[in-house]
Structure 1
């Protein structure tokens, strides 16, 4: 088979210009780079985003799709594996932060319960004091309730913003995993045609697929968990706001009764 002009571009932008048979491109490139990347770790991606294999190269040549100069992007399977490990680490960190978010929300709810309980007791006690003292203290307590509600609303908004950022990061990780998953599926076809060190490549591919499944499952679990937390929080906040509103009505009624 006639040799072709081939350009191989690495992720750092460095390029190698080869003149060889398309079936020998990996062998020639491996020699050109002085074995800096193990032969079995070299992944070539063509202009159609297909992973290089002997069968696809032959097919494209026979169908006149590789006339003239041919270009390949060069990837390192070991680098991709390390990148997946980093994605897993980021995912675990996000999961821990989501758990912290849940704890903060639960703490806020408990604090509001305690505050409301305390204010309710104080309001009942105020009803037993003289009118002048009741009016002044009731106004003070009403202001405290409104301030507390504003502070808790702000804290909840900050937690919601943090969740949105974490969710965006998880979506970005998922999109990146999906893109690399396509490369991995195409790489499986190449593995079927290359018998050299097949067991080693197959094991790496299985590890990567397991990591992808784990990341996707973790994201699904996090999404479900957040929906549950968020629904519970909304219900609790609506209930608490309604109680505060009832307390304010009671305060207003007390003011009216005393002529304030």
Structure 2
């Protein structure tokens, strides 16, 4: 009996030297959910559970070459976009996505769990093209505010998942907003832990795997949320700050 072909997910994002977020978290998530992960690395970071100490963006030409190498040979069923690092990179990625018809999940990485700023104002402005192209954009509370809030997102006419993990309270609320459709709201008890490094990367990649495998957006988000919660519960407890999730332990 032939095994089903895994969803091919291209991740365009930065590298996290400590393995908790970025490309490393994306690859773990995609693999654990049965997908096939490929990467176009946009930036190298020096970071750990306590914060980001250095960032160096790669050249747009090298990023474009990585994307082309994956698309032209293995092919792509879905794309996940994370940290981009520079306006030129954001525009390059938007250019390359115009030639693809696959689902795109855009995690507008601006602020790390530690509070480090990972996108300047010009980069955020360049996100406009990516939000229009994306199947869904996944901002957390401060990122949604930086993008202008729900009113600005409604004016753009784009689908987005407003993540509530950074809000106060014992209940987490995530809200999926789509043009022309009623919002879908999920609520769950907060998992009290400091080991939350890479939750946004993990969620976006999990959604991308689902979309690449043919799931609808609501079902893909539901499965991704369950995966993140299980990984939070399984966190190994590494590091002195915001530790990584337990991707490896989710079954």
Same topology, TM > 0.5: no
TM-score tier (shorter): under 0.3
Task: Tell me the TM-score normalized by structure 1.
Answer: 0.21
Bigger proportion of residues as helix: 1
Q: Which protein is bigger by CA-based radius of gyration?
A: 1
Bigger proportion of residues as strand: 2
Task: Tell me the TM-score normalized by structure 2.
Answer: 0.22
